[in-house]
Amino acid sequence: SQLPFIEAMRAVDLDHVQRRADAEEQLAALGVEPALQSFFTQSLDLTGKRWRLNLDGLAREMPKIMDFPQMGASWEGPALFLAGAASDYVRPEHRPAIRALFPKARFARIPGAGHWLHAEKPREFESSVRTFLNA
């Protein structure tokens, strides 16, 4: 679940934020790693002193977001399931269910990345996606 990150963002005292670095300091104090601090603060409206994300809606709908929906159809085209090597979101035991919906699925992992691989390892993420798209 991503609820701890939502709670960390909610805990930032926006009245004491003049720069993104101020919010990043507060997130760091809450245990959020640097790559994610930077990623999260991209969604910060400094002028309006608010998050652009609907944190309440995300928290409320998290069970649906994290669920794997039952689908009646499959995608016959190419699909890439790219995961961080330290993430447990795309586990080997998920592959049969994924292949049932995406028969041509390809799986790849980025070493040193968790769930937020696009924020943690942006160059490696981009390279993997480009390789897939150019194949």
pLDDT of res. 65: 84
* Number of structural domains the chain divides into: 2
Strand, coil or helix: 54:
coil
Residue 33: DSSP 8-state: -
**How many CB atoms neighbour CB 92 within 10 A?**
7
Closest of 44, 43, 34, 132 to residue 82, by C-alpha: 132
Q: Write the DSSP assignment of 61-125 as a string of letters.
A: HHHHHHS----S----S-EEEEEETT--SS-GGGHHHHHHH-TTEEEEEETT--TTHHHHSHHHH
Pair 34, 47 in one domain: yes
Structural domain including 81 reads 69-134
Which of 12, 30, 65 is the C-terminal boundary of a domain?
A: 65
pLDDT of res. 25: 98
Pair 104, 77 in one domain: yes
The pLDDT tens digits of the residues spanning 9-66 come to 999 999 999 999 999 999 999 999 998 999 999 999 999 999 999 999 999 999 888 8
Pair 117, 87 in one domain: yes
Pair 75, 129 in one domain: yes
Pair 47, 73 in one domain: no
Pair 28, 85 in one domain: no
